[in-house]
Amino acid sequence: MTAPVFLDVDGTSIAVRRATGAAPGIVWLGGYKSDMLGTKAEKLAEWASGQGRAFLRHDYSGHGESGGAFADGTVSKWLLQSLAVFHHFTLGRQILVGSSMGAWIALRMVQELSKAGENRIAGLVLLAPAPDFTAELVEPALTKAQKRDLARKGFFEEPSDYSAEPYIYTRALIEDGRNNLTMNGPIDTHCPVHILQGLADADVPSSHALKLVGLLPADDVTLSLIPDGDHRLSRPQDLDMLVRAVDAMVRQAG
């Protein structure tokens, strides 16, 4: 495993791994509490390497090998870091591959790049997409105790199915989420979108992916539903499907 390089973004050291190669390049955007060495990112890195294709991934602050505290993170902060990495390390057209919260970051990146007149996104592949998860999935389900913790302590904890460490949701994360909503109106990505969604996803219901599809009226959208797929989509057959989706997107962009 090669060591990461680090990019300073607003005083925080962001860990980046980059393989140069053909365009369109692939940019991986991980989920909440995930790092760039997860199963899906590693599988894509291996595939991209075999294809001689550029591949870029990074850890958000408070994740993996990057600096900063997880509890200080917000979508705005992680979006800013992702845009800085994108601008610093990519050339030419790129396909954004976003997993869970990474799909939210990907959609926000497209909005911000488009606003800046940059039309370099050739496609989006979104796995178990969780745009607006703070407002759409976390806030409506808050218990009295969690609301009390948010008011008094500024955060609440929830056990995680994926790690011994609990998930931490801060008041700042939830309030900032409201400033980054993407599902409050039609979304123009100006590129093809392929969504992979497991029907056995206990974290992000498939209805969320269907709602997202309904908000992408102007673009070429493919939705692949995986009957027994969970939120992680990390089984061998899920990884094969991911690679096929990215490969097809590359061909379409070609």
Model pLDDT, residue 181 = 98
Q: How many residues does the chain have?
A: 254
Contact present, 147 and 119 (Cβ < 8 Å):
no
Residues of the chain with pLDDT under 50: none
Cα dist. 196→36, 204, 250 in Å? 19, 12, 16
Model pLDDT, residue 163 = 77
The C-alpha atoms of residue 142 and residue 253 are separated, in whole angstroms, by 42
| Structure tokens given for 78 | 């992680």
The C-alpha atoms of residue 14 and residue 4 are separated, in whole angstroms, by 9
Helix (H) or strand (E) holding 133: helix 133-133
Model pLDDT, residue 161 = 79
For residue 119, the SS3 value is: coil
**First vs last C-alpha separation in the chain:** 30
Model pLDDT, residue 245 = 98
Model pLDDT, residue 38 = 96
Average pLDDT across the chain, whole number: 96
Helix (H) or strand (E) holding 222: strand 221-226
Total-model pTM: 0.97
Model pLDDT, residue 160 = 81
For residue 124, the SS3 value is: strand
Q: Hunting for tokens 């995680």 — which residue is that? A: 160
For residue 182, the SS3 value is: coil
